[in-house]
Copies of this chain bind each other. A is one copy, B any other.
Amino acid sequence: MPEFMDVHTSMAGVTTEALMAAHQADLDIQDDEGVSFKHAWADPNTGHVFCLSEGPSADAVQRIHERAGHPADEIHEITVTA
C-alpha cells in the first residue's frame, strides 16, 4: 500500500485537543477510502502539520481530509525511506 506524507500549512496555534479531534475526524471516515492515518506531527508556531498515512492514492487521502474539514496543502507519495 502506498505511503503518503501530507502537509497542512495554516494550523497556527493548534492545540493537542484540536489536533486529536481533527485526527479522529479522519479516522472516523478513513475506511470509506481504504486510507489509514498513522501519525500527525504539529508545530503550532509555524502552523505546519505533517500527517503520515497509507492508502490507495493521494486523491483518496485528500478526499478524507476534505470531508473531515481540513484539506491538505501538499501530499507527497513516500517511496524512499531511511
Q: Is A70 an interface residue (CB 8 A)?
A: no
Tier of interface size on chain A: 20 to 34
Asked if B82 contacts A20 (CB within 8 A), the reply is yes
Give A14 to B20 CA distance when docked, in angstroms: 33
Give A78 to B40 CA distance when docked, in angstroms: 10
Give A22 to B80 CA distance when docked, in angstroms: 12
Q: Is A69 an interface residue (CB 8 A)?
A: no
What 8 A-B pairs come out closest when comparing CB atoms? A43-B76, A23-B82, A42-B80, A40-B82, A41-B78, A19-B82, A20-B82, A48-B76
Chain A residues packing against B (C-beta within 8 Å) = 3, 5, 14-16, 19-20, 22-23, 39-46, 48, 50, 52, 74, 76-82
